Every structure is written in C-alpha cells, then in structure tokens.
Amino acid sequence: MSIPEAAATPAASSLPANAPGGMTPTERRAMAAILLAVALATLDTAIANTALPAIAADLNAPPAASVWVINAYQLAMVATLLPFAALGDILGHRRIYLGGLALFTIASLACALVNTLPTLAAARALQGIGASAIMSVNIALIRFIYPPMRLGRGVGLNALVVGVSFAVGPTVASLVLAVASWQWLFAINVPLGVIALAFALPALPHTTRGKHGFDPWAALLSVIAFASLILALGAAAQREALHLVLVPLAIALVFGGLLMKRETGHPAPMLPVDLLRRPMFALSTVTAMCSFAAQGLAFVSLPFYFETVLHRSQVDTGFLMTPWPVLVALAAPIAGRLSDRYPPGLLGGIGLAILSAGLASLAMLPADPHAFEIVLRMAVCGVGFGFFQSPNLKALMASAPPERSGGASGVIATARLLGQTTGAALVALCFGIAGDHGPTLALALGAVFAAAATIASGARLFAPGLDPSPAAARADR
C-alpha cells in the first residue's frame, strides 16, 4: 500500500507562516530523535578504541583478539550501509530508522551484559547493524523535514553532531572509565535510545517510496565487497602478513565488480553508480572521502604526536584535543546557513584549505611549543573541518533526486567511514615508515589529503548539477 501523497511530501514544505523558527514542534522532536541517534552511533565508533585495554583485561582476552570488539562493529556497519539505504528508498526511511534504533538499543544492552569476548563481538556486530540502519537514512529524513531552501541548516546540525561526537568519543570514554566499568559505556545507550524512540515514533515524517524492488543478491554482493575491503584495511593497519591484506582486497574488487555488472541498467542501483555519474555528486563524494581520511589521519596520530613527539601528559593531550571539536561545533551551523546562499564548492574549498593549512602547521611545530601554539593550530583545523561538512552534505543531497534520497544518504555514511578507516590504516603505515616520526608524517599526509579535497571541492564550481541559490531551491519545491 502506498502512503498518502500528503504524507510523502517534506513536512517543512507546508509549515504555517507563524511556525516558530520555521519548524513545528513535531519537526523539532523528529530532529531531536535523529540527532540523538546519530550521536549514539557515532560515539560508539570512537569510544571502543579507548575502552579496548580495559575490556581485554576484564575478559582475559589477548590484545590481538580483542580488536574484534572494534572490527565487528565497523564491518557490520560499513557492509550493510548501502543495502539499508536501498531498503529505505523502497520501504520508507522512517521504518529503517526505527528498526535500526531499536536494534541498536537492544544490542547495547547485550554488550553491557555479556561476559566473554565472542559474545561481546557478536553483540557489537548487531550494534553495528543497528547503527548502519540509522546512518544510512538520517540525511534522507532530514531532507524531508527541511525545505530545499533551508536544507543547509538541517545538514549543518547533523554535521555538528557527527563531527563533535567523533571528536569527543575518546574523552567521553575516559570520563566514564574513570568512575565506572567499561560495561557502562554501552549501558548508557539504552535509556538514551529509548528517549530517541519516544521522540521518533510520533514525529518522524513518512517519505516517498521508490517503485523498484529490492535485489537480495545485490545486497549480498555489496556486503561481501565492503566487508572484505574493511578487513583488508584493518589488516594493513595492523601490519599483518601481505597475503592477509591482498586476499580480502582481491575479494572486495571481484565482488564489487560483480555487483556493478549485476546492477547495470537498474533504475536505482544499490551501489549508486547512477548518482556517481552526476559530476556534482561524484565530486562531493571524493571531497568527503579525502576530508574524512584527513580527519582519520589526524585523530589517530595526534595523541601519539602530543605524547611521544611533544612529550605531553595524557591529561594535557585531552585538553589539547578539545579545540578541534569545539570549533567544529561553532563553525558547522554557520556554514550550514551560509550553504543556503553560497555555492558548496566555494564554502567547502575554503574550509578544506584552512584544514590543510592547520594540519601542515601542526606537523611543523617546533620541538618544544607553547600550549597556545598548539591550541591555535587545533582551532584552525576545527574551523576548517566544520566549515566544509555542512555545504558538502547539502551538495550531496541536493544533487540527488528526492526518490534517491536513501541512496545518497548511504553514500554519505559510506564515504565517511571508508575515509576514516583509510586514514587510520595510513597512520599505521606512517609508523612503519618513519618510526618515532610517524605521527609527524601522518599529519603531513593529512594535510595532503585535505589539499586534494580542496581541489575536488573547488572543481564543483565548474560542475553542472546544483544551483544553490534560494530561487532555485524554491523552484525545486
């Protein structure tokens, strides 16, 4: 049964003229539910790294095996993003979001209750599947809450939550572990997940559904291809034997090729090559992957840089990491509003150029810098990263047709996770090449990735496919 036409239209497009702040209370609750769930899913990507030593010690697990607490979550999340995005276009983004949030909440409770490493890894895999369902459709839902002319504000809030949650994850984990056991890192998700569900059930909009069917064989090929790719990147990051890197990489390439062949001519392919043929969408995807690779390089290497190169304490490191997420929080909403008026290629290019300069300046710090010198450079990086995210998200969503919102949202999440995973893997490579100077090399490489993202973003100024002017947004409605 198809949903009524009125329910399939963006909720914000029929706002009463006197709606406070341009949003109704129902839409505010919907945004609160989306952003809370996104924060939980993003935080759980970051906090497990910090808690891993405590988990391994408590469960009497060797360090090599305990890595599966992280790998299971990442594998499940990245492997299922595109299938969930495709299902969102078919079944409705609301259903996928609610199912994912419910699964994430239940799996979080399971993570807090298990007492062996294999059961924890299995619970983390379920948690990753739930997080994947949330992240695959969150931007698509925001598109149906905000009208096109104000979409930048909505994606700006989402960018703020994702950026800050990823950045403060280690700090949050450290604070919790200082007063409680590692189980509470997962148990705290349960009441927050229930609150998000309470907001979401009556408030999330019903969205348009595609008329195409779901291809389970394409979904299986996608899962195998992306899971193998993450395994290859993880093996490279751990500097494992060459065959443990090349075999999963070959599997990823073979099954990725089979997926593209199977979906040739499909009106809405699971691997959205149809969207990637749009210059604006393709350039925005490249921009996202390069920029998140730069972020991954920075956030994995900076703690080592501060502690082993600059000889700062762990407490100092926590404080020195803070300016980045704080400035992201300040810059992302501003950039989101500006993206409703100015081209995303220009705004993103400016932000990424600032990020590249900030990372290069961190790599060139003197041997014994003053804390202010470090804080200033971290603040510059935060401003740059916060200024790029919102315009880039808007460009990705606005350059895809409404009926392909799920596919576009899935690409956004996939590009972010692949970029961060690639960045983390490259940090390990930098350590292998440069030894004690590995963090410095990683920061320099991060500056190179940010510069490449700057070029890709600037190229969008000459690409067809998006007119960011308010007049065009009104016409699109």
Type of residue at 61: A
Residue 231 in domain: no
Into how many domains does the chain fold? 1
- 182 in any annotated domain: yes
Is 266 exposed, middle or buried (CB count within 10 Å of its CB: 0-12, 13-18, 19+)?
middle
Query: 66, 117 in Cβ contact below 8 A?
Result: yes
Residue 372 falls within a domain, yes or no? yes
Q: Distance between alpha carbon 25 and the CA centroid of its chain, in Å? A: 27
Side-chain half-sphere of 412: how many Cα atoms within 13 Å? 30
Distance CA 186, CA 47 (A): 10
> Is the backbone of residue 258 left (phi > 0), alpha (psi -120 to 50) or beta?
alpha
**Is the residue at 43 inside a domain?**
yes
Model pLDDT, residue 473 = 43
Q: Which residue has the tokens 């350039």?
A: 283
Q: What is the mean pLDDT of each run of 10 residues along the chain (477 residues)?
A: 36 38 78 89 76 80 73 85 84 89 95 91 93 86 79 74 74 80 90 92 77 78 87 75 85 88 74 79 89 87 81 75 82 81 87 94 87 91 87 78 71 81 80 80 93 92 57 41
Q: Is 8 inside a domain boundary?
A: no
**Residue 125 Cα distances to 75, 102, 188, angstroms:** 8, 14, 18
Residue listed under structure tokens 């890192």 = 185
Range of 300's domain?
23-215+263-476
Cα 299 from chain centre: 14
Predicted confidence at residue 380, as pLDDT, reads 94
In a domain, 249, yes or no: no
What pLDDT sits at residue 22?
A: 62
pTM, 2 dp: 0.72
Burial class (CB in 10 A: 0-12, 13-18, 19+), 177: middle
Q: What is the CATH number of the domain that holds 183?
A: 1.20.1250.20
Do the domain assignments include residue 174?
yes
What is the pLDDT, as a whole number, of residue 4? 36
CB atoms within 10 A of CB 148: 23
Contact between residue 3 and residue 209 where contact means Cβ atoms under 8 Å apart: yes
Answer whether residue 246 is part of any domain. Answer: no
